[in-house]
A and B are shown apart, each in its own frame.
Chain A
Amino acid sequence: MKSKRKIAALVLCTALLTSALGGCGGTQQSSSSVDSTAGGASENTAQPAADGEKVTLHYLIFDSYQAKEFAEMDMVAQFEAAHPNITVEIEKAKDSAEMENSLKIRAASNQLPDLVGNKVYMLDRFKDYLVDLSDMELTGRCPAAANFAVDGKVLGIPDRELREFVFYWEDLFTQYGVSVPETWDEFIQTAQAIKEADPNMIPIALGAKDEWTTYPFMELMPTLVANDGFLWRSMGQKDTPFAEGEGINKSYHMYEDLVAAEVFGPDPMGIGYDQAMTLFSNKQAAMFVIAGWGMDTMRENDADLTTLKSFMLPVRESESDPFRIYGGCDNFMSIFNTSEHIEEAKIFMDWYYEYFFPDFIQKVDALSAISDVEKELHPVLQEALDSRPDAEVVMYDGGDDNFNNIMAETKFDYKKLGVEMLTPGFDLDKRLEELDSAWTKARSDLGIS
């Protein structure tokens, strides 16, 4: 009896070990049934649904405001009225970071949705899973889409163009006797003047407990200082991209000066975005650096926007230098090539941008990425743009494979670095030197020339 048990246990263990270790050695395929050469529906095995067959499309988004408007404007019902055989289920991720994590897991288990609202950097990351939309008529209506093509393929159609703004309260600026700054040093001086005039007022609300709030300074500003929207790709080509003289080095030292001025309040790392925005909405903070969609949060906080104004973040050294501003696209609608209903997904995409988008974009505090859809910004934002007719727009790119691989290898996290720079005694020069060493080694290890 005992020997039978031992034999049974041995057989079970052997079976398990064999199945688990059977893949060792060489290269493995992960479990997803991806056709990595997919360039369009013609190469995918999915066939359009037969007439009358009910099809359900799953559309994953991260934008809370978009989800709210989909519900309030009854987007799904409108589409289903036009296409009775296609149902759309909207799935809302907590935020873009959580959506990206979820997509990685779902890719491994072949459970990707049909459609997704991507961030720009996700196009490269998920390029093996996205359908090439270059041949769609819609792509021709979106001039920006080609700018973000990956390996010559348009993998997503953005719905909006973003700008970054410094929101401020005009009445507070008047009260403290400060005006809109023209240069970076003036921006720091403006914040310092507010702090001196009223120690209880937070000059710039940051909310750095949520690390992503440092992105205007750590992710976007380096591209403006370097005058290179493709900065991350350029860095992937260099061994020492953080060295003195490089755009990112200069930009981070500028941010270091802002941090040294202690203008983010008594505990910027102790509060997150929600709390920081609440402080700003209640006029306990004078400025907030965020994209136009920040106004959505202010409205949710029932802020009185009567005296709200904005200006473009001045990253130039002197008034004689060009005034560069960030330009970026967001919310790229993409189709996964693992979808069984690619044709239906394209039908939805066409319908969305033709019939729903023109009304939807009017409610978003961003510019339209579709050329034939007119969009005026909220006066608070338009005024800031109009005050800079000479501004040079630097279109932002999220980086390519090389940059992403080096970033993963070196564990370079620019948003976390922005928070670390807020800690007392942080040595930026030492960190940049360490990053350069790690960057050089990573490029060598990864065989990037």
Chain B
Amino acid sequence: MYRLSTKRSVFIGLSLFIPVILLLCFVIYPALDLLRMSFYRWDGVSVEQTFIGLDNYVRLFKESPDLWLSLRNNLIYFVIHTLFIPLELMFAVMLTKKLRGSNIFKSLTFMPYIVNGVAIAYAFSYFYSPINGAFNNILTLLGLENWIRNWLSDPAIVNLTLASVSVWRYSGYHVVLFFAALQSIPNDILEAATIDGAGAWQQFWRIQLPSISLVIDFTLFQNVRGALQMFDIPFVMTSGGPGYASSTFTLFTLDTAFKFDSFGMASTMAIAIIVLIVLVTLVQNKVVAVARRKGGFS
């Protein structure tokens, strides 16, 4: 027994050795160095880095109006994705029914998620192009020419356009997550509920929803993280333009580092986004917990 337990420990240790080393080298150490750099002024090129204490953090809050404007754009992604979560849940519930074509629909829904994000953004930039763009051509074909807008250059709607691409990309992933979680609920519980006279809505609200609460929590966290870290779609499609109209927090952080040669401030922004994600997640968890208590299930 002792030899077996030792062998098991050795096996686990050896198996974890490389992943832990990689984690330390490529995640933990860079994160700590990021924190260190946030206390310095450095242009990314000079040999010297100058220690400035909390100066970057003070300037982050006092002197960066464009940064907080970018955060407003992140909020648009967050709100739109949140609004779509109930729809995604509904689709997942429908897929659990034995409907014709549900397998094909599942594959089609998930496919956008496995396609490279940059490729999707690039394709959609031509889809929404004002010159021979497919979307405008579709609207024209349907007799809806008066609906045509400057999808990628009108500051009033550019973020909605980009958010629509993000929803197209990530909805399928959420649907498949919810579907997998719903599939894990034992059938006999639902059958028993049916026998007891529970309708479809009651089964969903009282059995399915509480059973997949962990997956819902995970999806909500992914929603927060994804919205606050949104980068590839606005970067490829609009470069954050026109002006800063579609710039996101991460895009602005990158501009701060590479365009304005301020790696210290950019590190500070990166720390701020981590803190923001944690704070928003904590608030969200509190809100969801209260909603669950009021809904009568935990």
Name the residue on B nearest A417 (C-beta). B243
Using known A-B contacts A28-B51, A419-B243, determine if residue A269 contacts B152 with beta carbons closer than 8 Å. yes
Mark the stretch among A29-37, A228-236, A243-251 that contacts chain B.
A29-37
A100: chain B residues within 8 A (beta carbon):
258
Q: Which of B201-246 contact A (CB under 8 A)?
A: 238-239, 241-245
Contact A16 B150 (CB under 8 A): no
From residue B10, how far is it (CB to closest CB) to chain A in Å? 15
Q: Hey, what's the 0/1 contact readout for B101-140 against A, CB within 8 Å counting as 1?
A: 0000000000000000000000000001111000000000
Give the residue among A104, A108, A405 with the most B Cβ atoms within 10 A.
A104
Residue on B with the closest CB to A271? B131
Query: In whole angstroms, how far apart are the Cα atoms of A28 and B238 in the complex?
Result: 37
Q: B48 contacts A267, CB within 8 Å?
A: no
The secondary-structure label for the interface of chain A is: helix
> Which one, B29, B32, B155, B262, contacts A423 given CB within 8 A?
B155
Does chain B have a CB within 8 A of A20? yes
Pair B51/A26 contact, Cβ less than 8 Å: yes
| B36 adjacent to A20 (CB under 8 Å) | yes
The reply to whether the CB of B188 lies closer than 8 angstroms to some CB of chain A is: no
In the assembly, what is the distance between CA of A28 and CA of B50, in Å? 7
Interface flag for B191 (CB, 8 Å): no
B49 contacts which of A30, A270, A279 (Cβ < 8 Å)?
A30
Contact of A267 among B43, B46, B47, B150 (CB under 8 A): B150
Is B245 touching A108 in the complex (CB atoms < 8 A)? no
Answer whether residue A25 sits at the interface, using C-beta atoms and an 8 A cutoff.
yes
CB of A407 within 8 A of CB of B260, answer yes
Can you name the residue of chain B whose Cβ is closest to the Cβ of A441? B63
Contact pick for B241, options A108, A411, A416, CB 8 Å: A416
Report whether A270 and B152 are in contact in the complex, using a CB–CB cutoff of 8 Å. yes
Task: Decide if B39 is an interface residue (CB 8 Å cutoff).
Answer: yes
Residues from chain A with Cβ under 8 Å of B155 in the complex: 423
B249 on the interface (CB 8 Å rule)?
A: no
The CA-CA distance from A267 to B158 in the complex, in Å, is 13
Q: Which residues of A contact B33 (CB under 8 A)?
A: 20
Given known A211-B239, A271-B129, contact A408–B261 (CB-CB < 8 A): yes
- B42 interface contact, C-beta 8 A: yes
Q: Which residues of B contact A28 (CB under 8 A)?
A: 40, 48-49, 51
A108 nearest in chain B by CB position: B44
Interface string of B13-37 (1 = CB under 8 A from A): 0000000000010001100110110
Given A30-B42, A275-B129, answer yes or no on A21-B36 (Cβ-Cβ < 8 Å).
yes
**Which residues from B are CB-within-8-Å of A19?**
29
Digit string of A417-438 for contact with B (CB within 8 Å is 1, else 0)?
0011011000000000000000
A sample of 22 cross-chain residue pairs with beta-carbon separation below 8 angstroms, ordered by A number, consists of A20-B29, A21-B36, A24-B51, A28-B51, A101-B258, A104-B45, A104-B261, A107-B44, A125-B45, A128-B45, A128-B46, A209-B241, A269-B242, A270-B131, A270-B150, A271-B129, A271-B131, A408-B43, A408-B262, A419-B242, A420-B242, A420-B244
Show the binding face of A for B, using Cβ within 8 Å: 16-17, 19-21, 23-30, 32, 34, 36, 100-101, 104-105, 107-108, 125-126, 128-129, 208-211, 266-271, 275, 279, 404-405, 407-408, 411, 413, 416, 419-420, 422-423
Q: Which 9 A-B pairs have the closest CB atoms?
A: A269-B153, A20-B32, A420-B243, A267-B130, A270-B130, A270-B153, A408-B260, A28-B49, A104-B44
